Protein backbone atom coordinates (compact mmCIF):
# COMPACT_ATOMS: atom_id res chain seq x y z
CA UNK A 1 0.00 0.00 0.00
CA UNK A 2 1.21 3.50 -0.72
CA UNK A 3 2.38 5.56 2.23
CA UNK A 4 0.15 8.31 0.84
CA UNK A 5 -3.09 6.32 1.01
CA UNK A 6 -5.07 6.52 4.24
CA UNK A 7 -7.40 3.58 4.91
CA UNK A 8 -9.84 4.01 7.79
CA UNK A 9 -13.37 3.69 9.11
CA UNK A 10 -15.04 6.15 11.47
CA UNK A 11 -18.04 5.70 13.81
CA UNK A 12 -20.02 8.10 15.97
CA UNK A 13 -19.45 7.38 19.65
CA UNK A 14 -21.21 10.17 21.55
CA UNK A 15 -22.51 7.75 24.17
CA UNK A 16 -19.36 5.64 24.53
CA UNK A 17 -17.55 6.05 27.87
CA UNK A 18 -13.80 6.52 27.43
CA UNK A 19 -12.88 4.17 30.28
CA UNK A 20 -15.02 1.37 28.83
CA UNK A 21 -13.55 1.90 25.36
CA UNK A 22 -10.00 1.85 26.76
CA UNK A 23 -10.66 -1.41 28.60
CA UNK A 24 -12.12 -3.01 25.46
CA UNK A 25 -9.12 -1.97 23.33
CA UNK A 26 -6.66 -3.40 25.85
CA UNK A 27 -8.71 -6.60 26.18
CA UNK A 28 -9.17 -7.19 22.45
CA UNK A 29 -5.83 -6.13 20.97
CA UNK A 30 -2.14 -6.51 21.62
CA UNK A 31 -1.37 -2.81 22.06
CA UNK A 32 2.20 -2.00 21.04
CA UNK A 33 2.09 1.70 21.83
CA UNK A 34 -0.39 4.27 23.07
CA UNK A 35 -0.55 8.04 23.17
CA UNK A 36 -2.86 10.82 24.29
CA UNK A 37 -2.43 14.05 22.34
CA UNK A 38 -4.50 17.22 22.02
CA UNK A 39 -4.42 20.14 19.65
CA UNK A 40 -6.14 22.32 17.10
CA UNK A 41 -7.03 21.48 13.50
CA UNK A 42 -7.57 24.47 11.17
CA UNK A 43 -9.33 23.34 7.99
CA UNK A 44 -9.17 25.04 4.59
CA UNK A 45 -11.22 23.89 1.59
CA UNK A 46 -11.33 24.46 -2.15
CA UNK A 47 -14.15 24.34 -4.68
CA UNK A 48 -13.20 20.80 -5.77
CA UNK A 49 -14.00 19.45 -2.29
CA UNK A 50 -10.38 18.88 -1.26
CA UNK A 51 -9.11 20.22 1.99
CA UNK A 52 -6.00 21.10 3.91
CA UNK A 53 -5.62 20.55 7.62
CA UNK A 54 -3.16 22.53 9.71
CA UNK A 55 -2.70 20.58 12.94
CA UNK A 56 -0.82 22.15 15.83
CA UNK A 57 -0.35 21.76 19.56
CA UNK A 58 2.31 23.98 21.05
CA UNK A 59 5.67 22.82 19.69
CA UNK A 60 4.44 20.46 16.93
CA UNK A 61 2.66 21.21 13.69
CA UNK A 62 1.89 19.60 10.33
CA UNK A 63 0.03 20.45 7.18
CA UNK A 64 -2.01 17.68 5.56
CA UNK A 65 -3.78 17.57 2.23
CA UNK A 66 -6.56 15.02 1.85
CA UNK A 67 -8.44 14.00 -1.27
CA UNK A 68 -11.14 11.40 -1.71
CA UNK A 69 -10.42 8.54 -4.10
CA UNK A 70 -14.17 7.97 -4.45
CA UNK A 71 -17.21 10.15 -3.87
CA UNK A 72 -18.96 7.07 -2.48
CA UNK A 73 -16.55 6.40 0.37
CA UNK A 74 -14.01 8.00 2.68
CA UNK A 75 -12.52 4.60 3.56
CA UNK A 76 -9.50 5.28 1.35
CA UNK A 77 -8.13 8.72 0.61
CA UNK A 78 -4.92 10.35 -0.50
CA UNK A 79 -3.23 11.82 2.56
CA UNK A 80 0.04 13.74 2.42
CA UNK A 81 1.49 15.07 5.68
CA UNK A 82 4.18 17.75 5.64
CA UNK A 83 5.89 18.96 8.79
CA UNK A 84 5.78 22.72 9.36
CA UNK A 85 7.29 24.84 12.09
CA UNK A 86 5.12 25.55 15.12
CA UNK A 87 3.76 29.09 15.15
CA UNK A 88 3.36 29.37 11.38
CA UNK A 89 -0.41 29.80 11.27
CA UNK A 90 -0.20 32.99 9.18
CA UNK A 91 2.16 31.33 6.68
CA UNK A 92 -0.07 28.27 6.41
CA UNK A 93 -3.17 30.44 5.88
CA UNK A 94 -1.39 32.42 3.13
CA UNK A 95 -0.14 29.24 1.45
CA UNK A 96 -3.69 27.84 1.53
CA UNK A 97 -4.99 31.05 -0.05
CA UNK A 98 -2.35 31.00 -2.80
CA UNK A 99 -3.25 27.38 -3.57
CA UNK A 100 -6.95 28.26 -3.87
CA UNK A 101 -8.18 27.16 -0.45
CA UNK A 102 -10.20 29.28 1.96
CA UNK A 103 -10.43 29.05 5.74
CA UNK A 104 -13.37 26.98 6.92
CA UNK A 105 -13.45 25.70 10.51
CA UNK A 106 -11.19 25.13 13.49
CA UNK A 107 -11.77 22.27 15.91
CA UNK A 108 -9.88 21.07 18.96
CA UNK A 109 -9.35 17.34 19.44
CA UNK A 110 -8.09 15.14 22.20
CA UNK A 111 -7.00 11.84 20.68
CA UNK A 112 -6.46 8.60 22.56
CA UNK A 113 -4.46 6.40 20.18
CA UNK A 114 -3.57 2.72 20.46
CA UNK A 115 -1.27 1.09 17.87
CA UNK A 116 -1.31 -2.60 17.08
CA UNK A 117 0.77 -4.41 14.45
CA UNK A 118 -1.70 -3.61 11.64
CA UNK A 119 -4.02 -0.81 12.79
CA UNK A 120 -4.32 2.10 15.11
CA UNK A 121 -7.52 2.60 17.05
CA UNK A 122 -8.40 6.16 17.99
CA UNK A 123 -10.99 7.69 20.28
CA UNK A 124 -11.52 11.38 19.51
CA UNK A 125 -13.06 13.95 21.81
CA UNK A 126 -13.92 16.84 19.49
CA UNK A 127 -14.57 20.42 20.60
CA UNK A 128 -15.21 23.78 19.02
CA UNK A 129 -12.36 26.28 19.01
CA UNK A 130 -14.01 27.70 22.14
CA UNK A 131 -13.89 24.26 23.82
CA UNK A 132 -17.60 23.41 23.59
CA UNK A 133 -18.07 19.62 23.14
CA UNK A 134 -19.02 18.63 19.59
CA UNK A 135 -18.64 14.87 19.30
CA UNK A 136 -16.93 11.64 20.17
CA UNK A 137 -15.64 9.59 17.27
CA UNK A 138 -14.03 6.16 16.98
CA UNK A 139 -11.59 5.57 14.15
CA UNK A 140 -9.88 2.41 12.99
CA UNK A 141 -7.01 3.18 10.61
CA UNK A 142 -4.62 0.80 8.90
CA UNK A 143 -0.98 1.46 9.64
CA UNK A 144 0.83 2.81 6.57
CA UNK A 145 3.00 -0.33 6.30
CA UNK A 146 0.06 -2.74 6.49
CA UNK A 147 -0.06 -5.11 3.47
CA UNK A 148 -3.83 -5.63 3.60
CA UNK A 149 -5.31 -2.40 4.99
CA UNK A 150 -8.99 -3.07 4.29
CA UNK A 151 -8.80 -6.59 5.74
CA UNK A 152 -6.99 -5.26 8.80
CA UNK A 153 -9.54 -2.55 9.60
CA UNK A 154 -12.46 -4.87 8.90
CA UNK A 155 -11.03 -7.44 11.30
CA UNK A 156 -10.52 -4.75 13.97
CA UNK A 157 -14.07 -3.57 13.31
CA UNK A 158 -15.34 -7.13 13.83
CA UNK A 159 -13.41 -7.48 17.10
CA UNK A 160 -14.56 -4.11 18.49
CA UNK A 161 -18.09 -4.67 17.20
CA UNK A 162 -18.49 -7.71 19.45
CA UNK A 163 -18.26 -5.32 22.42
CA UNK A 164 -19.50 -2.00 21.02
CA UNK A 165 -22.81 -1.83 19.13
CA UNK A 166 -21.76 1.50 17.56
CA UNK A 167 -18.89 -0.22 15.68
CA UNK A 168 -20.56 -2.16 12.88
CA UNK A 169 -20.26 -2.07 9.08
CA UNK A 170 -23.67 -0.45 8.65
CA UNK A 171 -22.67 2.36 11.04
CA UNK A 172 -19.49 3.41 9.25
CA UNK A 173 -19.53 7.14 8.66
CA UNK A 174 -18.92 8.29 5.12
CA UNK A 175 -17.55 11.67 6.09
CA UNK A 176 -14.26 13.03 7.31
CA UNK A 177 -13.91 15.21 10.39
CA UNK A 178 -13.71 18.18 8.03
CA UNK A 179 -16.88 17.16 6.20
CA UNK A 180 -18.74 16.63 9.45
CA UNK A 181 -17.84 19.98 11.01
CA UNK A 182 -17.35 22.22 7.97
CA UNK A 183 -19.00 25.59 8.38
CA UNK A 184 -19.36 25.99 4.60
CA UNK A 185 -21.16 22.65 4.26
CA UNK A 186 -23.48 23.53 7.15
CA UNK A 187 -24.22 26.92 5.60
CA UNK A 188 -25.07 25.35 2.23
CA UNK A 189 -26.99 22.43 3.70
CA UNK A 190 -24.78 19.73 2.22
Domain coordinates in residue numbering, the chain: 5-188
CATH of 5-188, one of 2.40.320.10, 3.40.50.720, 3.30.450.30, 3.50.50.60: 2.40.320.10
Sign, Cα dihedral of 162, 31, 13, 105: negative
Q: Which of 119, 126, 169 is nearest to 148 (CA)?
A: 119
The predicted pLDDT at position 187 comes to 55
d(CA 110, CA 57): 11
Tell me: pLDDT of 1 over 60. no
pTM of the model: 0.93
Read off the pLDDT of residues 16-59 as tens digits, 9 standing for 90 and up. 999 999 999 999 999 999 999 999 999 999 988 889 999 999 88
The predicted pLDDT at position 67 comes to 87
The predicted pLDDT at position 70 comes to 86
Amino acid sequence: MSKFIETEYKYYADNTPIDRFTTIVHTCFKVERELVVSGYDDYFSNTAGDYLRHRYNGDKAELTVKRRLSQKSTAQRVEVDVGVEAGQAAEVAKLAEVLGYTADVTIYKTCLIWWTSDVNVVFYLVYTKGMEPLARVIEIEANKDCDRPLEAIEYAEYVLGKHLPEVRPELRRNESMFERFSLKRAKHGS
